[in-house]
């Protein structure tokens, strides 16, 4: 209903019906361009709901077919070849993904992949449905290129998400990699958190290309305490056991890797403890980072004073620095998905050089629309080619190899 209302308003504003309607949205026509003033006039959560609903019913653009033959600016290398990546033994058509939080309940995975993302991470999914925190709970800071949210793991729960993920595996399967990010229910005591994560993994592991244990959202009371050494080890041990039990019939090498998502607001001791647990338990990867409770780089007052996690441009440098630090603490042995402030090819490239094998975005998509995906990918390929790298893998951790 909300999508139809916005389309009707677009027509009243003189937006051509061929743009506002679905008939031509097949190859790179971006409905959000003429509708962006309308979406920006809505509260952020409503705008996000409409955008996701539009994608779900086929009103989102597909990446233009010309990208398949695009070449880099310096040496004319095929962009697709430069970006093609293999991580955890899985092929990613490109290393630029959509971070968790955009499609929490896996309602529009295929259309989102069709925008050009190499992977989509759904969730966070909790074992039982929960509404999250009261609205309003999302706030724009356009002058800073940032968003504050305090969603609080609003989730349809595994019972709603599991059949949608299962449906993606029918036929040829999804057109890209699908990660599943899991969280605990708000009313689950912290000392029982491991059971919640294990329950979600048991239900969803069979439908995931990788799994992410989210212990770093600032919007669930006590959650970040799970990043402490003993609690983190307990949670991750239970998650790995749940995955292995649920997929006992699957060869170990073919089971989805387990990653842990960490916060940017950590002490040096916290980081060392996390690195130690990750290596001790042979955790397959890290997602770095979640939103921040810091307001550094944002003018105080107004929306900036809202409680919640900050994402977008102000987080970029801190998240990239944390990628570099965790890469160093794990001696480059643990693949990293770099998240936080990715809006350009240079942003993505900085995270790759810092140690990220893959990168993911969210806030830039909210502000700039689907066209940002292709721009980031082309920009990343041009950066790699400019500096003499034939592919992403060659550049991962390059800043650590400087003489």
Quote the CA–CA distance of 376 and 106 in Å, as a whole number: 24
| Range 323-341 average pLDDT | 98
* Range from 25-29, 112-116, 144-148, 216-220 carrying the lowest mean pLDDT: 25-29
Residue 198 contacts by C-beta under 8 Å, 6 or more apart in sequence? 238, 239, 241, 242
pLDDT confidence band for 32 (50 / 70 / 90): low
Q: State pLDDT tens for residues 223-254.
A: 788 888 999 999 999 999 999 999 999 999 99
- The enclosing H or E element of 166 equals helix 158-168
Tell me which of 272 and 40 has the higher pLDDT: 272
Q: State pLDDT tens for residues 112-160.
A: 999 999 999 999 999 999 999 999 999 999 999 999 999 999 999 999 9
- 85, 155, 217, 357: the catalytic one is 217
DSSP assignment, residue 136?
P
- Residue 217 designated active-site: yes
Residue 357 has pLDDT above 90, yes or no: yes
Tokens of 103: 């499609």
Contact yes or no for 131/186 (Cβ under 8 A): no
Quote the CA–CA distance of 314 and 341 in Å, as a whole number: 7
């Amino acid at each position: 209903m909300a999508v139809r209302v916005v389309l009707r308003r677009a027509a009243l504003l003189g937006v051509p019906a061929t743009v506002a309607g679905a008939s031509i949205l097949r190859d790179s026509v971006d409905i959000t361009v003429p509708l962006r003033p309308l979406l920006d006039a809505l509260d952020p959560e409503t705008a996000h709901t409409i955008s996701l609903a539009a994608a779900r019913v086929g009103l989102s653009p597909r990446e233009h077919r010309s990208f398949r033959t695009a070449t880099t600016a310096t040496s004319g290398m095929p962009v697709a070849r430069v970006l093609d990546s293999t991580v955890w033994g899985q092929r990613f058509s490109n290393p630029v993904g959509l971070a968790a939080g955009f499609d929490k309940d896996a309602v529009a995975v295929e259309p989102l992949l069709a925008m050009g993302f190499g992977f989509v991470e759904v969730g966070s999914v909790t074992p039982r449905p929960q509404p999250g925190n009261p609205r309003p709970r999302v706030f724009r800071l356009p002058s800073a290129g940032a968003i504050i949210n305090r969603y609080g793991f609003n989730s349809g729960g595994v019972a709603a998400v599991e059949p949608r993920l299962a449906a993606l595996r029918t036929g040829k399967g999804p057109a890209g990699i699908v990660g599943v990010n899991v969280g605990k229910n708000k009313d689950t005591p912290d000392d029982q958190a491991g059971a919640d994560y294990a329950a979600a993994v048991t239900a969803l592991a069979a439908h995931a290309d990788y799994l992410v244990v989210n212990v770093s959202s600032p919007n669930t009371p006590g959650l970040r305490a799970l990043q402490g050494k003993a609690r983190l080890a307990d949670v991750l041990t239970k998650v790995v056991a749940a995955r292995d039990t649920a997929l006992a019939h699957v060869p170990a090498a073919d089971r989805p890797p387990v990653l842990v998502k960490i916060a940017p607001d950590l002490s040096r001791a916290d980081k060392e403890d996390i690195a130690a647990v990750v290596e001790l338990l042979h955790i397959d990867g890290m997602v770095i980072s979640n939103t921040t409770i810091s307001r550094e780089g944002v003018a105080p007052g107004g929306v900036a004073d809202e409680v919640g996690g900050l994402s977008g441009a102000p987080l970029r440098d801190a998240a990239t620095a944390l990628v570099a630090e965790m890469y160093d603490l794990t001696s480059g042995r643990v693949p990293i998905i770099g998240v936080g402030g990715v809006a350009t090819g240079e942003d993505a490239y900085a995270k790759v050089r810092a140690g990220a094998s893959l990168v993911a975005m969210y806030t830039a998509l909210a502000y700039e629309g689907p066209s940002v995906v292709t721009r980031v990918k082309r920009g990343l390929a041009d950066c790699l080619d400019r500096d003499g790298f034939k592919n992403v893998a060659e550049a991962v951790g390059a800043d650590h190899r400087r003489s």
